[in-house]
Amino acid sequence: MNDTLIGLAERVRQATAAKAILRIRGGNTKSFMAGVMSDAATLDMRSYAGIVDYAPSELVITARAGTPLVEIEKVLAERGQCLPFDPPRFADETGALSGTVGGMVASGLAGPGRAAVGGVRDYVLGVLLLNGRGDLMHFGGQVMKNVAGYDVSRLLAGSWGALGAICEVSLKVLPMPVATATLRFDMRQGEALDHLHAWAGQPLPLNASVWWRDTLAVRLRGAHAAVAAAVSRLGGEVIPNELGDAFWEGLRDQRDEFFIEARHAAERDKSALWRLSLPPTTPVLPSFDDTLVEWGGAQRWIVAGAEDTLVLHRAERAGGSAFRVVGGVGDGAGYATPLAPSLLAIHKRLRESFDPHGVFVPGRPMRF
């Protein structure tokens, strides 16, 4: 077994013995979401990096947790393949896109393509996990269809370190689409949602959508003929691909104008940036300071100076959930929709079974 891996496992066992706590860290690009954990020592996964195996004809790549996402995407692009769910790579303090593949799985965050192609969990095929006992365990595998045992590898997508440190991950990848087009429309939010629902019910190569300040943009991806036919059918203004691609990338990495303004607002005047995950057909939620709608209505980013309880209430009433990403006050209760009591008990027992001594401090979204 690899020395670095042995060292990581040893580190966990030592921390357990010393009753210390560990914060699992990759590129350190998501600490704004994960929250501050001042008492915790860092289990730095960047030392365990590199692509272990990549077979384009299998549509599978296996990489160590510390591998930067940009490196994986570069290797995939050389063979005409990609991670179609557009995981955000985020910039570190130097501005470099340093998010790692381990962090991608642990956070479970996906970008503009999510609604059309699925999320992180849908592309996780297998994981090597280091649990809180210092045991290394494989779950899942490197093949597309696998129903042997419980699918623990997919459970780790979006687990924010609650069940252990993800050391290696096998991901399903897909061919890059042969054609892409971006269309722009002037529309109010309600009208945009109506159009998006109608289009999604038709066999159109609709791949991503975003609405902000009375502008709707959609991305089409697929065969040349299908994209061309959809462009002429949907109308709107065709955005040249170099502009369109840069726009979607900015949105994906949350470096777009909306996110920059939202962060400034949070620093300036106590307002907060919220992410709402909602049934896509939820009607327009009025009276917030600013709103950006993605995923055909299923993901809505909201800037609000409002009370936490109001935002949480709105999300829950719609049958969804809310999470205060940046800004606002305090990290106690109130920054996220709580779990149903029956599920909370399962979460506690699950965490106890993976990490009985509580050696790992999970990120903010998973503090239950």
Partner 1 sequence: MSRSPVRVDPVLGDDSPPSTLAHPGWANTMPPGFDGQSAIAPSRLDELDTTPTRDAPAPARPAVAQATLVDTLRTLLPPHALLWRNEDTTPYECDGLTAYRERPLAVALPETEEQVSALLAACHRLGVPVVARGAGTGLSGGAMPHANGLTLSLAKFNRIVKIDTRARTATVQSGVRNLAISEAVAPHGFYYAPDPSSQIACTIGGNVAENSGGVHCLKYGLTLHNVLQVRGFLADGSPATFGSLALDVPGLDLLSVVVGSEGMLAVVTEVVVKLTPKPQVARCIMASFDNVRAAGDAVAAIIANGLIPAGLEMMDKPMTAAVEAFVNAGYDLDAAAILLCESDGTPEEVQEEILRMKSVLVGAGATQLEVSDNEAQRLRFWSGRKNAFPASGRLSPDYMCMDSTIPRARLADMLLAIAEMEVKFDLRCCNVFHAGDGNLHPLILFDANDPEQLHRAEAFGAEILELSVAMGGTISGEHGVGAEKLNSMCVQFSETERAQMLALKAAFDPQGLLNPGKVIPTLSRCAEYGRMHVKRGALAFPELERF
Complex with partner 1: residue 155 or 266, whichever CB lies closer: 155
- Buried/exposed 331-363: b ≥16 CB within 10 Å, e otherwise: eeeebbbeeeeeeeeeeeeebeebbeeebbbbb
Contact (Cβ atoms closer than 8 angstroms) between residue 54 and residue 83: no
CB of 241 to partner 1, least distance (A): 18
CB of 305 to partner 1, least distance (A): 23
Contact (Cβ atoms closer than 8 angstroms) between residue 163 and residue 129: yes
CB of 92 to partner 1, least distance (A): 25
State the residue for tokens 């205060």: 324
Instruction: Tell me the C-alpha distance between 8 and 15, whole Å.
Output: 11
Complex with partner 1: residue 147 or 242, whichever CB lies closer: 147
Q: Which of 299, 302, 324, 319 lies closest to 112, judged by CA? A: 299
Complex with partner 1: residue 97 or 173, whichever CB lies closer: 173
Q: Taken in order 201, 205, 210, 216, is the CA torsion positive or negative?
A: negative
CB of 299 to partner 1, least distance (A): 7
Complex with partner 1: residue 96 or 174, whichever CB lies closer: 174
Specify burial of residue 55 (Cβ count, 10 A radius: 0-12, 13-18, 19+).
exposed
Instruction: Tell me the C-alpha distance between 323 and 277, whole Å.
Output: 9
**Angle subtended at Cα 262 by Cα 259 and Cα 265, rounded to the nearest 5 degrees:** 150
Complex with partner 1: residue 56 or 250, whichever CB lies closer: 56
CB of 264 to partner 1, least distance (A): 27
**Partners of residue 172 on adjacent β-strands:** 60
Residue 16 vs residues 10, 37, 184, 259, 354: alpha-carbon distances, Å: 10, 17, 54, 39, 13
CB of 49 to partner 1, least distance (A): 22
Complex with partner 1: residue 230 or 304, whichever CB lies closer: 230
CB of 116 to partner 1, least distance (A): 11
Complex with partner 1: residue 83 or 278, whichever CB lies closer: 278
